[in-house]
Amino acid sequence: MTEFLLEMTAVLESFGITRAEAVARMNYSWGKRKFGPYPDLMCHEAPEHWAYGMYYDDGSTATVAYWDPDTDRSTWTVNPPPPDGDPAWTLPREG
């Protein structure tokens, strides 16, 4: 599971956010979740699937269609990071 979560962190960082924010977004989304050994049920989707959903909102209730090159990304907005002071922030914020 560690490798899976590290891959998801890398995808989030590829959006231009810090590792601290990437980890905070993951903690905020899944902080209370218990994971089984690899492959946990969440591994039925690629790390990109979860990362895009944590970072972007495409204005629908469906999954953000990151895999489709014809998707209209102009409507996507960035979900806000966890609020300051939230326990999801477990790494020091950079800058």
Cis peptide before 39 (omega within 30 of 0): yes
Cα separation, 91 vs 76, whole angstroms: 27
Query: Can you give the pLDDT at residue 61?
Result: 62
Instruction: List, in sequence order, every beta strand (DSSP E) within the chain.
Output: 56-57, 77-78
Would the pLDDT of 93 be above 70? yes
* pLDDT one-digit tens code per residue, 41-67: 778 888 998 999 899 986 776 667 788
* pLDDT one-digit tens code per residue, 65-80: 788 888 887 888 899 9
Cα separation, 55 vs 1, whole angstroms: 20
Cα separation, 75 vs 13, whole angstroms: 21
Would the pLDDT of 35 be above 80? no
